[in-house]
Amino acid sequence: MSPRSLNGTITYPGTITMQDSLLYSDARIAGHQKNTPRQKKKLSVLYVDDEPAFLDLCKIYLEREGEIFMTGASSAYEALELIEASGFDVIVSDYQMPDLDGIGFLKHLQTIQCTIPFILFTGRGREEVVIQAINNGATFYLQKGGDPKSQFAELTHKIKEAARRRQAEKALKESESRYRTVFENTGTAIVIIKEDATICLSNAEFARLTGYEKGEIDGRKRWTEFIADEDIRQVLANPQLLRGDGERAFSRLECRLITKNREARDILITVDIIPDTQQSVASFIDITERKQAEEELKKKNEEIAAAYGRLAEAEGILRQKVVEKPPTCGLPHNTQPAASDRT
């Protein structure tokens, strides 16, 4: 229920008047506005109520500690114009307003995908309104009535908490966006594995490597289903690859992966435990070309070794022949000088 003006003062459940609130507020503000080394950014709050005098009272209470700056709007339509022109951290709205009530205002904000936290400040005895507010995405609701000081202290707390939650959600989304960007753009096939070895999330590179669509993988296949039957025993003998047991930080294994079209690819698997979870992250590096190059190099080395062996054998045979029949260097066997040479 909204307060009403009587003889120039504002009456509100709890018997506090506008003059009382001004005196109280002036004292608090005077004590708070001492020189401080650093001023943190104030929360910007949009308060919607069809009683201008009540908006003035709210502004006094909410701004008294210097942490909130309040903008007032006398209708939901005026509030919508302000939202388009300015950014707000929190919206507080009365329920009972002409033209468009608080629930209608909240629903409209949902339709335009406005993510600003919304607090409904409604009168007592309106439980059905509270239910509608929760069902339509209100962050908090408060019921009017009782001691105004306690009431506005609670409202201030809810405003700060709503802003803190929004900031935390924003930071979480930004963090998730960064990690998802890394997850999808490393150029390496990566999967997140649940405790039962089911793949709960795969990236595009893993889908490309295996030939499956992500919809055929995530939540549907165990990662061991991609391993060749001949190598599965090696995998089963490596428990860290099935589920992180905390004994080792990570594990690596070379084996063969079977694609959707039954092609075998040589891969290097690296599995690590995700801290504070029952999940693991695994990367799959295709080393097929490297293995083929190694095999070709091994074959060439064997061919060179065989050729060297044949060359050494031929050299041995040649040496043996030289020993058995030494060369004469072109001289005849009779090397005695002629008679004429001796005279």
CATH superfamily for 183-290 is: PAS domain (3.30.450.20)
Distance CA 137, CA 108 (A): 11
* Amino acid (one-letter) located at 162: A
Tokens 């408060």, located at residue: 142
The confidence band for 245, taking pLDDT boundaries of 50, 70 and 90, is: very low
| Domain with residues 4-167, CATH architecture | 3-Layer(aba) Sandwich (3.40)
Whether residue 26 has pLDDT greater than 60: no
DSSP string for 12-75? -TTT--HHHHHHHHHHHHHHH-S--S-PPPPEEEEEE-S-HHHHHHHHHHHHTTSSEEEEEESS
pLDDT at 242: 52
Distance CA 291, CA 256 (A): 11
Average pLDDT over residues 111-117: 92
Distance CA 66, CA 28 (A): 10
Average pLDDT over residues 168-174: 91
Domain assignments of the chain as residue spans, ordered by start = 4-167, 183-290
Which is more confident, 276 or 156? 156
Least confident among 10-14, 65-69, 296-300: 10-14
